[in-house]
Amino acid sequence: MAIALYMDVHVPQAITEQLRRRGINVLTAFEDGTQELSDDLLLARVTELKRVLFTQDIRFRVLAETWQVEGKQFSGLIFGHQLGGTIGQFVKDLELIAKVSEPDDWVNAVEYIPFKSVG
């Protein structure tokens, strides 16, 4: 079973569109009507929906890492720094993650993308 993704408001629409063309289940904060929720309430919402959050907001990454330390459960967060990669790299890595991982793999997890190629 693949994971479902949730896009924070800071994620370019092009990433969402390309993932959907590749068959990935994606919901955006705008579509969910949560674009004005505080980060902690949005992380709780994403967890309620059993989706893994993708964000490019460093404050959101820090919040998830704080929740890890505090033992607060959340459904996972993927962080991609806005200057850390191209839209194509983010799409490729998110597609791979979505297709090969299970929701249980992501409980209380924080991952950074883009992945660096070896070689």
d(CA 86, CA 89) in angstroms, rounded, equals: 5
Q: Output the pTM of the full model.
A: 0.92
Number of domains in the chain: 1
Q: Tokens standing for 28?
A: 């955006």
Residue 59 in any domain: the answer is yes
Residue 2 is predicted with a pLDDT of: 87
Structural domain range at position 36: 5-113
Mean pLDDT by 10 residues, the chain (119 residues): 91 97 97 93 96 94 94 96 86 96 95 74
Residue 119 in any domain: the answer is no
Task: Return mean pLDDT, the chain.
Answer: 93
Residue 51 is predicted with a pLDDT of: 97
d(CA 101, CA 118) in angstroms, rounded, equals: 21
Residue 1 is predicted with a pLDDT of: 64
Residue 21 in any domain: the answer is yes
